[in-house]
Amino acid sequence: MNNSNCSGNKESPKKAKDKKKKKKRGGSKKKMSVEQTLAFKSVSEWVFLDQPSLLASAFDFGLQKSLGRGQDKLVFELHTHSKFSDGFLSPSKLVERAYGNGVKVLALTDHDTMSGIAEALDASHRYGIKIIPGVEISTIFSPSGESEAEEPVHILAYYSSCGPTSFEELEKLLANIRDGRILRAKNMVSKLNKLKIPLKWEHVARIAGKGVAPGRLHIARALVEAGHVENLRQAFSRYLFDGGPAYATGSEPQVEKTVKLICDTGGVAVLAHPWALKNPVAIIRRLKEAGLHGMEVYRSDGKLAAYCDLADTYGLLKLGGSDYHGRGGHGESELGSVNLPVVAVHEFLKVARPIWCDSIKDILESYVKEPSDSNLARIIRFVRTPKGGDPFSCCKDIVERCLTLWLTSEERQNAEFDAIRLKLSHISLNQETPRSVPLESK
Ligand SMILES: [Zn+2]
Ligand SMILES: [Zn+2]
């Protein structure tokens, strides 16, 4: 929801119960069931698509070690923030830390921007981590009945190795939200000023950094730095909480419209931290109709049974991530600390892969139809060559890179991709075309 809710894991009776259950299971290593073994095999095949040498050893090692924690686990971290929104680490530092924590697949899901993805992809080559291009979109839920309250909702979107099919359309939505955030942050600063707190806009903008739309966390940090409050928690509990004396709303899009747009642009849409919602059932019901694929139910302190039940009721994927911001305070979940069961990851990929496969096809086909530099630049935003690696010499190289990173040989070997390859072999790359272009958000 807001920045505080994003990672504010409040202790609840439910959680305490879940913890107990977790303890009962203990840390003992159980043998994998047939279902888990098959899931592990399928997931590791996808994780190591472009590193076949690692696949066999990962699989053997994984089976031997069974379900123990550590290097043998296929750790998926599906919810993280960098400096490009309100995180504290650069995307490269985030990737480095993820590697140190044994993460194999990392989704960077900054608030309302995909500008950090290119840097994360470049860093990922150094560490052999797979990056899922993602974004966490700020939206608003408007109730249909009087009994429900309007409330902010965060939706995670996960894309393929080629990014969204219509990058411009998604980017327009995100840019609108970011512009609204600046206005909103300015409103909050002026509300603070009216409360006789002389916080300066320049201070907030400096903390957010160049090109970053300030959020509540940036204002809270400025309040701490200027000595108006003792810590971030106090900044939120006194002034910035939802409906608080210095709270202001932004111009977020309707949540259903956002979920539809994610589906239309080849993404997988997942409801973030539903436990922060006042009215989760009404929201989940409406979002399911709009095409929502899944919801977060796992946290670093275990899974939340009530939300698992809701996910089952509405036929949604059960996912989760640490929502890591790199604040460094205690109470923050560590990067890679959510223990996503391999079966849950397998279910996720089962839903995501056909969507991603189709979106890659769409993106490549639209390039074949119109092989312009701008269409190529759209692909190269997400398909990066490793530093020191050979630059792409022809379009076919780029296509092979998109495909081998994301699709199995069976998925790749079909008539449609063959037709794309054939057409692309007639298109030569302009020497002037940059090897890689920055993922600009403006
Ligand atoms: Zn959030
Ligand atoms: Zn988040």
CA-CA distance, 334 to 323, in Å (whole number)?
Answer: 9
Both structure tokens of 81: 């923030």
Strands 130-141 and 302-303: unpaired
* One pLDDT digit (tens) per residue for the chain, 442 residues: 334 333 334 344 444 444 444 444 444 456 788 999 999 999 999 998 877 777 766 666 555 454 444 445 789 999 999 999 999 999 999 999 999 999 999 999 999 999 999 999 999 989 989 999 999 999 999 887 655 667 899 999 999 988 999 899 999 999 999 999 889 999 999 999 999 999 999 999 999 988 788 888 999 999 999 999 999 999 999 999 988 999 988 788 999 999 999 999 999 999 999 999 998 999 999 999 999 999 999 999 999 999 999 999 999 999 999 999 998 877 889 999 999 999 999 999 999 999 999 999 999 888 888 888 888 888 878 887 766 566 666 667 777 777 888 888 888 888 888 888 888 777 766 544 444 444 443 3
Ligand 1 centroid to residue 342 C-alpha, Å: 24
Closest ligand, as measured to the CA of 86: 2
Residue 109 alpha carbon to ligand 2 centre in Å: 7
pLDDT of residue 200: 94
Domains of the chain with CATH codes? 3-160+272-351 (3.20.20.140), 354-424 (no CATH)
Q: What residues sit around ligand 2, an ion, with C-beta below 5 angstroms?
A: 6, 136, 323
Residues having C-beta closer than 5 Å to ion ligand 1: 6, 154, 272
Q: Judging by DSSP bridges, how do beta strands 130-141 and 294-296 pair with one another?
A: unpaired
- In this predicted structure, what is the pLDDT of residue 434? 46
40 CB burial (10 A radius; 0-12, 13-18, 19+) = buried
Q: If you measure from the C-alpha of residue 428 to the centroid of ligand 2, how many angstroms do you get, rounded to a whole number? A: 41
Instruction: Return the ligand number nearest the Cα of 322.
Output: 2
Tell me the CA–centroid distance for residue 85 and ligand 2, in Å: 10
Q: What is the pLDDT of residue 377?
A: 81
DSSP 424-437: HTTPPPPTTS-S--
Q: What is the pLDDT, as a whole number, of residue 437?
A: 44
Which ligand has the minimum distance to the alpha carbon of residue 320?
2
> What pLDDT is recorded for position 442?
33
Distance of CA 409 to the CA centre of its chain: 26
State the pLDDT at residue 394.
66
Phi, psi dihedral angles at 296 (to 5 degrees): -75, 130
Distance from C-alpha of 298 to C-alpha of 314, rounded to nearest angstrom: 17
Cα-to-centroid distance, 4 and ligand 2 (Å): 10
Predicted confidence at residue 302, as pLDDT, reads 92
